[in-house]
Structure 1
Amino acid sequence: MDGEYMSIDGRFIKYLSKELNQELISGRIQKISQISHSDFLFIVRVQAENKNLYLSLSTANSRIHLIDKNLNQFDQPGGFCMFLRKHIEGGTIQSINSLNNDRIIEIKTLNVNDLGDQTNYYLFIELFGRYANLIITDNNKQILNAYKHIHPFEDIDRTIVNGAHYLLPNDNKIDPEDLVSIEKFFSQDNLNYRDIINALRGISPLLAQHIIKEAHHKSSEMYLVYKEILNQPINPTLELKDRSHFYYLDIFQNPKRHFKSISALLEFYYYEQTDKEKVKQIHKYLSQFSKNQVNKYKNKLENLSKDLKKAKQNDIYRMKADLLIQDQHKIQATDYEYIGFSYELNQELSVELDRKKSVIENANQYYKKYKKLKSAIEHLNKQIILTKHELNYFINLKDQINNNYNYQDLDEIKEELITLKYLAQKKSKKTNKAAKLNYDTYIFNEQTKIYVGKNNLQNNYLTHKLAHKNDMWFHVQNQSGSHVIVHGDSLTEETIRHAANLAAYFSKSKMSGSVAVDYTLVKNIKKIPGELGSYVSYSNQKTIYIDPDETKISELKKIK
C-alpha cells in the first residue's frame, strides 16, 4: 500500500486544512495554471506575498499543499482549467475547512459572476485515490462543473453532474470525534486494524495499526490510546527507513525527520515521488517508441529487400518481349501462350499472351514492365540506404534510452525526435532561449575538464561545437556510446585512463571487461553524411583497453 493511502486520512486532512486556512485566508487567487493533465497550481496573493497552492488529482498521488518551488505550466491548459480561471481566478479565499472528518476540503471563495454581482463559489476537493475530484459549485451548492463527472447508473453511490446538488458521500461510519460511540466500539474484543478503518471514518491503516501497537493488541486499552492521539500536538513527520510513510503526528520509530509544516512535509515527499514518476513515464514512453521504430524499420528493410530481389528479375520481361518480336510471324492471333526458343537463355521460354492485343502490343506490354522494374531498382536501393540509416539511428537511440534515467537527458531525446518529426510537435509559446544541454562535466587535477555526452544532442554539441580542434575525443570502439571530450593543456596517462573509463562506462559495454576505446584529436572527427544521430568517422586514432569502473568516476569532481 503506497504512501497516500497509508498516510493521508481524514485526521491528516483536518489539520492540513487548518494550516492552509491560516496561510491563505483573505488571499486573492491571482492565477490558476495547469501543470499536467491532473495537476493545477493556484497562485494566491496574501499580505503582499505570493503563495503557491498545489493541487493534484492524480489517481496515485492526489493531494493539496503549499509549495516553494516554481513549476512549468501546460502550454495549452484544458477546458476544466479555463473554467476555473473564469469562475475562481480573481476571487478571494474566505475559508478553508475539512468536511465530515473525511478526505474532503471545502474552499469558499468570493468572486464576481457574469452579471457583475458578488457571489460565493465553492471548491470541494475530494482526495479519494482513484476517485480524486475537484467540484465547483455556486452559492447554493449546485454543481457548476467537476474534474470527474459521475453519471447515474455508473455503479457508484453518488452522482456528480452539472446542475445537481452537491452532497457529501455517505459511508455510515462512526464520526471520529463522537467519543461516546467510539468508546462503545473499542469495548469489543479481538479488534484488528481492518475493523477500525471499516468502522471509523477518516482513519487510515497507518493510524489504525499504530493504535493497535500502542495498545499492545488489547481492545480495553485502544480507546485510551485513541484519546491520547486526539490530544497529541501536531508534528509533521516522515519515516526515513523506506520513505513510504508520513503523518501529521510523530507516530514513528527512528530514523525519522520532522518538518515545520504539513505542506513542507508533503512537498518534500511528493517532489521525490513525482520526479521518479516523471522519469518512469518518459522512460517507458521513449523505450516503447524506440522499440516500435526499430521493429518498423526492420520490417520495412525486409520488405524492400524482397521487392528489390523481385525487381532484379526484370530481365525476364525484356527477354519475353524480344522473343515475341523475334517470332512474331509464328504467333497466331488466337494463341493465349507462345513457347519459343530464347537464344539468350539457350532454352525454351513460355510467354503469356493477351488475345485482345496484337503481338507487337503484347511485346510493348512486356517492355513496359521491364522498364518500370528497372527504374524501381534505383528507387529501392535509395530507400534501403535511408531505411538502414533510420534503423541504425533508432537502435542507437534505444541504447541511449535504456541506459539513462535522468529526466532532462530523456526530455532532450524527446525534443530531438520532435525536431526530426518522428514525434508530433505540441503547440507552445515561442521562446528565444535555448535550453542548456545536460551533458556531464568532470574536473581532473583541478585543470583538465572532461565532458561526457549522454544522447545525440549532447554528443553533437560537445564534438562539433564546444570542443577545440586540439582537444582529445574518446569513444568506445565499434558500438554506440558517449562522446567524451578532454579539454586541457596536458594529456597524461592517468587522464587518458579516466576519459577512457568514462567512454566505456557510458556505453553498451559498461558491464564488460577489457573494453576497446579509441581516442584521437577532435580535428580528426568527421560527420558521416546522411547518417542520423551522432555517428562520426575518425582517423589517426589510438586504442586503449579498459575495465569500466564506477568507483573511478567518483574520484573525479563532477561540476555539472
Structure 2
Amino acid sequence: MSFDGIVLAAVRTELEATLIHARIDKIYQPANDTLVLHTRQKGITRKLLLSAHTTHTRVHFTEQSFENPPSPPLFCMVLRKHLEGGRVIRVSQPGLERQLSLHVETVDELGRPGERVLICEIMGKHSNIILVDPVTGIILDGIRRYTHAVSRHREVLPGRPYVPPPAQEKLEPAGTSEEAFRQRFLDGPLTRQAHRVLLESFSGFGPLTAREVVARAGLGPDTEVDACGDYEFTRLWQAFSEITGVVQEKRFLPTLVRENGRYIAFSAIDLKQYGGLARQHPESISQAVDTFSAVRQARERLEQQRRDLESLVSRELKRCYKKMSAQQQDVETAADADRFRLAGELVTAHIHKLAKGMTEAELENFYDPEGGTVTVRLERELTPAENAQAYFRKYNKAKSTARQAGEQLAKTQEEADYLESVLYEIAQAQDFSDLDQVREELISAGYLKRKPETRGKKNVEGKVRESAPLRFVSNDGLTILVGKNNVQNDYITLRMARGDDLWLHVKDIPGSHVLVRTEGHPATPDSTLNQAALLAAHFSKARHSSKVPVDYTYARHVRKPKGAPPGKVIYDHQQTVFITPGDEVAALLRQLETP
C-alpha cells in the first residue's frame, strides 16, 4: 500500500483544515489494529480512521461503516477514558516521517485541564498507535504492546517512557541541494536502480513516489545509476524538485489509478507513470485512500472467503476420491465371484471323485477348451456337497458386494462430479453475491451448516446477496445467458428457458449452462451459435484449451434427473461443435451487460 510520508503530509494538511477544535465524541475499535474516532465540529460529524494494520496502515477520514465488537477492547476503554470529550488542538508530523500525532486538550475527573497525544506510527509490520502523556512523556497504552524481547530499541507498555521509532538516515527533501542529491546516487553501488536510491535516501518517499520521479525524468523504470550522466541527473533533479515543491506548497492532487476496472494505485500527487490508464482525482486525500482501501480490503475478504470455500470443497472431494478407491476394490471382487462359481461347479461335477477329509483336489476344467485342470481347495470337515455349497455362497456374496459397490461407486462419482463443478464455480465467482449463492448451495446440500445467528430465521435465502446470470447480446441481437453457479444454471435451464431456446454446455467438463433466447426464431444464426459456444468454452474448466467440444440442443431436450444435485441435467438430440476460446471472447466480455 503506497501510504508514504507525502500522502501522510496531505492527510495532515486536510486534518489541520478540518479537525482543529473538533470534539471527540465517540471512540470505537472495530478490529485489533484499527480505531475509529467520531469527531464533531460546527455540527458536522466526521469519522477519523487510524489503522496499524501490517499492510494497510493509514490515517484518514472515512465514510465506511464498521461492525464493532460487543465489548470494547482494553485499549479502546483507555482511549475513551482519556480522549472522549476532548478537543483536537494540533496535528503534527515530524518532517515527512510516517508518523502523525493528534494533540488533544482534555479535562480530567476533577475538572483539571490537560493534554494527551495519540501517535500513529506507520511502519509496516511494526506499525502502532500509542497514547502518551506529553507532560511526563509516559506511555498510557498502545494498541500493540511489546517488551525488549521483541524490540531492543524500545518497549511499548503502560508506564514506560515513550521512545520514538529509530531514526532513518534519510535526507529531508525540502533541505536537499542539487549537489547532495547527486551525491546520494554516487555514494553507493552504481548497479542500483535510480528509484531504489530515491527510496532509500529521502524521507517521505515511498516506492510509488520514487518511481514517479524516474518516470517524470523520462527514464525507464529499471534505469540504473551507471546509465545516468549529467543529463539524466539533471532530469531526475528537476522531477524531484517538482514533486518536493508540490509538497512544500501543499498543492496536493489526490489521485486514483484504475486498470481493467480495478484501482491499482493512489497518491497525493498526480501519477504520470501510468501513462494512458484512467486516473481519477477525488476531492480529498481521505476520499482517495478511503476508496482504495475499501476496495482493496473487500477484494482481500472476497479472496479469503473463496479460499475457505475451496478448502471445504477440496476436503470433501478428497473424501469422495478415497471412498471411490475403496468402492472400486469392492467392484473388482467380481473376478473372485467368477472363481468361486467355477470352483463350486467343478466340485459338483466331480463330486463322485471326492470324499470328506480332503483338503484339495485337482479337477478337470470342462470350460477349458484345452482340457486343463484347476486346483480347488477343500475344507477338511465338510463333505464334497457342503464344499460346493460353500463356494456358491461365496460366489453369491461376492457378486452382491460387487453389485452394491458398483451402485455406490456411481453415486460417489456423481457426488465427485458435482463437487468438481462447485470448485469451478468458486474459482469463477466475481463478487460476494456469487460466493453467497455457492455457500447457500453448499448449506442446502448439507456440506455446510448455517451460522447460529441465521439458523431458524425465516426468509434466510432472501437475505443472501442477489446474483444474476451473466447477460450478453450476440452480433445478431439475441440475448445469451450464462450461469455463474449451479443454482443459476438450474434457474436459466429449468425455469427461464423456453422449449425452442438453444442450450449449450461443454461436453463432459464442469462449466456453465449457456442459454440463447431465440425469441421464437426458427433457426439460430451461425454467428450467435459460435458466440454462445465460445462463452460455454470460456466459462468452463477447459477455458485455456483448444478445440473444446461444446454440445448444443434445444432446451426442450434438457431435463433434470430425479434427486440430481444442482446443475446436474441430462439431454439428448444434441450436436457438437469444437471451439477454441480466443480474442473473440475478450470482445464479448467487454460488452457484458449487468442486469
TM-score (norm 1): 0.71
Aligned counterpart for 2:376 among listed residues 322, 331, 349 = 349
SS in 1 for 2:376: strand
**In 2, distance between residues paired with 1:371 and 1:151?**
74
**Worse-superposed segment, 242-251 or 7-16:** 242-251
Structure 1 residues 85 and 553: CA distance shift in structure 2, 3 A: same
- Residue 397 of structure 1 deviates from its aligned partner by 3.1
**In 1, distance between residues paired with 2:149 and 2:59?**
30
- 1:170 aligns to 2:166 (yes or no): yes
- 1:265 aligns to 2:288 (yes or no): yes
SS in 2 for 1:301: helix
Structure 1 residues 52 and 489: CA distance shift in structure 2, 3 A: farther
- Residue 456 of structure 1 deviates from its aligned partner by 0.8
Residue 437 (structure 1) aligns with: 467
Residue 206 (structure 2) aligns with: 204
Aligned counterpart for 1:528 among listed residues 561, 569, 576 = 561
State whether residues 362 and 375 of structure 2, in contact with CA within 8 Å, keep that contact through their aligned partners in structure 1: yes
TM alignment of 1:77-226, pairs within 5 A:
77=69, 82-83=73-74, 86-87=77-78, 91-92=84-85, 94-95=87-88, 97-101=91-95, 102-107=97-102, 123-135=118-130, 141-142=138-139, 144=141, 146=143, 148-154=144-150, 157-161=153-157, 164-171=160-167, 173=169, 176=172, 179=175, 186=180, 189=183, 191=185, 198=200, 201-205=203-207, 207=209, 217=233
**In 1, distance between residues paired with 2:554 and 2:340?**
53
State whether residues 27 and 44 of structure 1, in contact with CA within 8 Å, keep that contact through their aligned partners in structure 2: yes
**CA deviation profile, 1:275-318 (whole Å, cap 9, x unmatched):** 55455555566566656655553343223212332486368789
Aligned counterpart for 2:60 among listed residues 45, 52, 65 = 65
Structure 1 residues 245 and 57: CA distance shift in structure 2, 3 A: same
Structure 1 residues 488 and 188: CA distance shift in structure 2, 3 A: closer
**Structure 2 residues without counterparts, runs of 5 or longer:** 187-193, 218-229, 367-372
Letter in 2 for 1:189: Q
State whether residues 143 and 165 of structure 1, in contact with CA within 8 Å, keep that contact through their aligned partners in structure 2: no
Residue 438 (structure 2) aligns with: 413
Residue 370 (structure 2) aligns with: none
Letter in 2 for 1:186: A
**CA deviation profile, 1:243-297 (whole Å, cap 9, x unmatched):** 7664324474666553321112223444554455455555566566656655553
State whether residues 32 and 43 of structure 1, in contact with CA within 8 Å, keep that contact through their aligned partners in structure 2: no
Residue 29 (structure 1) aligns with: 26
- Residue 12 of structure 1 deviates from its aligned partner by 2.6
Aligned counterpart for 2:570 among listed residues 521, 526, 537 = 537
**Worse-superposed segment, 50-59 or 213-222:** 213-222
TM alignment of 1:336-375, pairs within 5 A:
338-339=359-360, 347-350=374-377
State whether residues 39 and 56 of structure 1, in contact with CA within 8 Å, keep that contact through their aligned partners in structure 2: yes
State whether residues 481 and 503 of structure 1, in contact with CA within 8 Å, keep that contact through their aligned partners in structure 2: no
Residue 14 (structure 2) aligns with: 19
Structure 1 residues 50 and 274: CA distance shift in structure 2, 3 A: same
- Residue 89 of structure 1 deviates from its aligned partner by 6.7
**In 2, distance between residues paired with 1:374 and 1:449?**
53
State whether residues 338 and 352 of structure 1, in contact with CA within 8 Å, keep that contact through their aligned partners in structure 2: yes
SS in 1 for 2:565: coil
State whether residues 38 and 56 of structure 1, in contact with CA within 8 Å, keep that contact through their aligned partners in structure 2: yes
Structure 1 residues 439 and 195: CA distance shift in structure 2, 3 A: closer
State whether residues 106 and 122 of structure 1, in contact with CA within 8 Å, keep that contact through their aligned partners in structure 2: yes
Residue 324 (structure 2) aligns with: 301
**In 1, distance between residues paired with 2:579 and 2:168?**
68
**In 1, distance between residues paired with 2:197 and 2:594?**
54
State whether residues 63 and 127 of structure 1, in contact with CA within 8 Å, keep that contact through their aligned partners in structure 2: yes
State whether residues 173 and 244 of structure 2, in contact with CA within 8 Å, keep that contact through their aligned partners in structure 1: no
SS in 1 for 2:503: strand
Structure 1 residues 293 and 184: CA distance shift in structure 2, 3 A: same
Aligned counterpart for 2:521 among listed residues 482, 486, 491 = 491
**CA deviation profile, 1:73-108 (whole Å, cap 9, x unmatched):** 58xx598x6446655579356337344442233456
State whether residues 39 and 47 of structure 2, in contact with CA within 8 Å, keep that contact through their aligned partners in structure 1: yes
**Worse-superposed segment, 526-535 or 166-175:** 166-175
State whether residues 236 and 246 of structure 1, in contact with CA within 8 Å, keep that contact through their aligned partners in structure 2: no
Residue 463 (structure 1) aligns with: 493
Letter in 2 for 1:454: K
Structure 1 residues 241 and 187: CA distance shift in structure 2, 3 A: same
**In 1, distance between residues paired with 2:38 and 2:79?**
12
State whether residues 235 and 258 of structure 1, in contact with CA within 8 Å, keep that contact through their aligned partners in structure 2: no
**In 1, distance between residues paired with 2:411 and 2:116?**
59
TM alignment of 1:236-385, pairs within 5 A:
236-238=253-255, 246-250=266-270, 252=272, 257-271=280-294, 273-274=296-297, 277-278=300-301, 281=304, 294=317, 296-310=319-333, 313=336, 330-331=356-357, 338-339=359-360, 347-350=374-377, 376-377=401-402, 380-385=405-410
SS in 2 for 1:313: helix
State whether residues 473 and 483 of structure 1, in contact with CA within 8 Å, keep that contact through their aligned partners in structure 2: no
**In 2, distance between residues paired with 1:352 and 1:143?**
88
- 1:478 aligns to 2:482 (yes or no): no
Structure 1 residues 239 and 399: CA distance shift in structure 2, 3 A: closer
Letter in 2 for 1:152: H
Structure 1 residues 494 and 83: CA distance shift in structure 2, 3 A: farther
**Worse-superposed segment, 388-397 or 48-57:** 48-57
Residue 231 (structure 1) aligns with: 248
**In 2, distance between residues paired with 1:134 and 1:220?**
36
TM-score (norm 2): 0.68
Letter in 2 for 1:490: G
